Structure 1
């Protein structure tokens, strides 16, 4: 009987979730890799009149018009500084069209298991950014703010 329990415990191993770690300003953020469709170099963004201030415009990616937003402006940081490391990450949530988000740099892909992820403190829930967070990941010697990318994007459409 004990052998059966041991086998069941082995099957419950936490595989973890892969995150793309990006830099925005001086902070590291993690984006669940399941939502990432593509990562492209910075390209010409066509402005759209009367759009939200953090909505930078649209790009043409292989014939598909994709809206692009600045997470820096959405989070109340200073405007984007475009460098050779700047990338546009194309996010494709289930049941929604693709959207691009501008990041200062794509750093690496990490796998975090549930033991290394802290849920956001409910006291922080009043903070504007807190609704965009799914947790804080501990990876090696650094902390990675994990974005709830669907709430970041859906919030854009409801504003």
Structure 2
């Protein structure tokens, strides 16, 4: 009969030991994972980078197409290198792309970027999204309707 009285106590003690060990393992696994996420978010590419399209205007128009000025601002703290400009239709599909030449944009600087759109690519009156991408992987969007 003594054996039965000890058995529940041993079982309870064994469950407590297993629970404590599992909690310690889970704690170390979660803190390790949290450190990896923080490390990835803190990469130099992501920190201090910000690009904003401040506006678009027609700079020139002729029978072959339209030249737009896209005003971009580096609102971050590191130099960005403009890579590509894309025009997206309302569904998000690219219908025109233009290499920006990888020219640099200093922190807190605002400049304009030329975008030439040939007449056969123009979509007058259709809601269009301009997407500017940097070599660092930063993207900025601006929605307008070409006229």
Return the TM-score normalized by structure 1.
0.26
Return the TM-score normalized by structure 2.
0.28
The one of the two structures with greater contact order (alpha-carbon pairs below 8 A, sep at least 6) is: 1
